Structure 1
Amino acid sequence: MTQVRWGFLGAGFIATRGVGPVVHQAENAVLQVVGARDLDRARSLEPVRAVSSYDEVLAADDVDAVYISLPNDAHLPWVTAALAAGKHVLCEKPLALHADEVAEMTAAAQRNGVHLVEAAWNRWHPRTRRVEELLAEVPGELDIRTWFTFAGVPDDNYRLDPSRGGGALLDVGVYATAAAMVALGHEPTVVDAAHDLGPTGVDLTTTATLASDRGRASVLGSFVRPESQGWTVTAPGFALELPHPAFTSWREPSTLRIVRDGVEQVEEFAECDAYRLMVEAASSLVLGEDAWVLPLSESLAVARTVDEIARVAGAS
């Protein structure tokens, strides 16, 4: 087998604009089946065939791996169903509503002998990989700021529904939390946290302070503040900055500002599609080839920290 035959559960915005096109572009992947309630929308992704049933995708003998882009509350049931069907799974972030769900999914992947990867696509971007490399080498105590904010979630969007895993923390806050943990490590302490709740009961803004033996981080995610994304790290004799957009640079050139001992350097990154890099890496993994993918241990660690941020914010 030289190509992974992908089946999609869902044909929403990310599947249509982000992941679907790059499966067509990738040499090691083919878009075999798309399942969606709206058959015309499924057909618009131009798969080999379109179906109106998710179960039909999971039952298909000509599907090796499944990409899941459903609302947050649908991740656990469909991920575990896909894994039980013997399909490898790439699932949109957040992988689960809570850390215990990530642990349940991980156990199911191990039990069925298949791969599970969280589709935190920005982690495949060369600029993000470069930041991870730099931070692994920086000595001294780090001061980190990460934020992802925008205003204007539509009233009928699942992000405003608490029963469907809505809220800023589980959406944009996951980007900011994961970035902070790249610097702090996998087991930071949540020093403090606060929610600003909206009329539906979801958090419209969440702030948190994280700490570890590597330093401290200020984390912000919001659905109501002006659009902005940033990631800065400072340490004695060192600083780096990812300018806006820090997390969703897509098909555009990007830069990374680095200061060492007072000398500034700007690294430039050519335009790239991190969705494609993610799909190609996940496909390589399925094919038994060497490829970096986001480890499930990191997905679990981020989920645990997000759970703790929610707990501390709820208690404050």
Structure 2
Amino acid sequence: MEMTATTPAPRDSAMEGPAPVGWGFLGAGHIATANLGPAVRSVATAELRAAAGRTPHRTAALGATSSSTDYAAVLTDESVDIVYIALHNSVHADWTVRALRAGKHVLCEKPLGVSAAEVRAMIEAAAAADRLLVEATWNRWHPRTRDLAGLLHQGVLGEIQHVEAAFDGAEPDVRNYRRHATLGGGALLDVGCYAVGAILAAYDWAIPEITAVRRQSWPGSAADVRTAADLRFGESTANVVASLTGTGREVLKLSGTAGTVRLDSPFTAGRGHVELQVESRQGLAVRQYEPVDPYALMVTEMTRAVAGDKAAFLVPLDQSLAVAETLDAIRAFQIE
């Protein structure tokens, strides 16, 4: 095992507040190095104390107090309170359960598991360990997403009649796990969780009936490059498209009996300036959102929760399970 370590700067005991919450990372890929690593470093109440990854130089670049190639070493590190899991999808459940049993709180990359059965097992493990388990669907922490949830709760759109949601992500390299079904790859699991989550939020997290599915896979692979599905919620409907062709197109439109909401692309918001357009009987209202880092917001809220703040916002596990159940149903639909 290769191990490197650095000594943290001394703390001024006369001025310091509560001890920072310790984070440990499993995985040092792009999402960890470009987004979550900087997010943890930006939050004053969080410290990245341990990281493990397959590539030593990338793992060391995260800036953790210690880094190694041994994932298990992070779970036994007593300075780590929260384990962030950014491994390929097929091992999310395994390492999440291991971390929970080791007494760690867990923030796991989306999709939480590759099936609803995995998600249920993870939820049971979190309850048995009395530890937090949260799916890292970072866009849920963006102020626009939370505002939209508030508008839906208030019934501003009336009864929802139709939702259109589409997410086209970056086209992965042929060696990337997203091209391999056995590693939990494919468009539906990778980006479909965002689009399906947006639809379920509009329908108060009800599980839909799947009425049609259209699926296209990469040549020589069982992983889907594009999946489209038609969903039904009683008399109301939705269309979802998940793809990995690289256009970056994101669409979210909600239509109700009292108005419509349209989110400009990307509907997951990202870090830039975005808008939320509400058209109702009162006319068109446009809400503006200044640039924020939703990853830092996610880290802040997770850190607050672990420190004991019961008002911290976390994505509820029943909602993560609803997404997993819907993804299962879309994947299981028999295409004629």
> TM-score if structure 1 supplies the norm length?
0.96
1:235-288 CA distance string (max 9 Å, x none): 2330111111111x3321111111111611110001101001111111111111
How far residue 214 of structure 1 moved from its aligned partner, in angstroms, is 7.3
Matched residue, 2:149: 132
From the superposition, tell whether residues 52 and 225 of structure 1 become closer, same or farther in structure 2 (CA, over 3 Å). closer
Matched residue, 1:87: 104
1:166-200 CA distance string (max 9 Å, x none): 11100111111111101123222222222112221
Q: Indicate yes or no: 2:214 matched with 1:194.
A: yes
Q: Indicate yes or no: 2:243 matched with 1:222.
A: yes
How far residue 108 of structure 1 moved from its aligned partner, in angstroms, is 0.5
State which drifts further: 204-213 or 299-308.
204-213
Identify which of 299, 309, 318 aligns with 1:289: 309
SS in 1 for 2:188: coil
* Matches of 1:315 and 1:59, distance apart in 2: 46
Q: Indicate yes or no: 2:44 matched with 1:45.
A: no
CA contact under 8 A between 1:237 and 1:262: conserved in structure 2?
no
* Matches of 1:102 and 1:87, distance apart in 2: 17
Amino acid at match of 2:324: A
Identify which of 165, 171, 180 aligns with 1:146: 165
Identify which of 266, 276, 283 aligns with 1:256: 276
Identify which of 174, 186, 207 aligns with 1:167: 186
How far residue 315 of structure 1 moved from its aligned partner, in angstroms, is 4.0
Identify which of 325, 330, 334 aligns with 1:304: 325
How far residue 42 of structure 1 moved from its aligned partner, in angstroms, is 1.2
How far residue 13 of structure 1 moved from its aligned partner, in angstroms, is 0.3
For residues 236-275 of structure 1, the aligned pairs below 5 Å read 236-247=257-268, 249-261=269-281, 263-275=283-295
Matched residue, 2:10: none
Identify which of 54, 57, 71 aligns with 1:54: 71
For residues 88-107 of structure 1, the aligned pairs below 5 Å read 88-107=105-124
State which drifts further: 260-269 or 78-87.
260-269
How large is the Cα RMSD of the aligned pairs? 1.4
Amino acid at match of 2:131: V
**Residue-pair matches, total:** 314
* Matches of 1:195 and 1:29, distance apart in 2: 42
CA contact under 8 A between 2:126 and 2:132: conserved in structure 1?
yes
State which drifts further: 186-195 or 77-86.
186-195
* Matches of 2:54 and 2:147, distance apart in 1: 40
* Matches of 2:235 and 2:42, distance apart in 1: 40
> TM-score if structure 2 supplies the norm length?
0.90
SS in 2 for 1:266: strand
Q: Indicate yes or no: 2:218 matched with 1:207.
A: no
From the superposition, tell whether residues 139 and 92 of structure 1 become closer, same or farther in structure 2 (CA, over 3 Å). same
SS in 2 for 1:14: helix
Identify which of 59, 67, 72 aligns with 2:89: 72
Which entry has the higher C-alpha Rg, 1 or 2? 2
Amino acid at match of 2:243: S
State which drifts further: 64-73 or 218-227.
218-227
From the superposition, tell whether residues 262 and 196 of structure 1 become closer, same or farther in structure 2 (CA, over 3 Å). farther
SS in 1 for 2:189: coil
1:187-243 CA distance string (max 9 Å, x none): 222222221122211111111112224721110011237330011011233011111
1:57-88 CA distance string (max 9 Å, x none): 00111111100000001101111110110000
Please, which runs of 5 or more residues in structure 1 have no aligned partner?
none
Please, which runs of 5 or more residues in structure 2 have no aligned partner?
1-17
From the superposition, tell whether residues 141 and 50 of structure 1 become closer, same or farther in structure 2 (CA, over 3 Å). closer
CA contact under 8 A between 1:185 and 1:212: conserved in structure 2?
no
Matched residue, 1:185: 204
* Matches of 1:26 and 1:150, distance apart in 2: 28
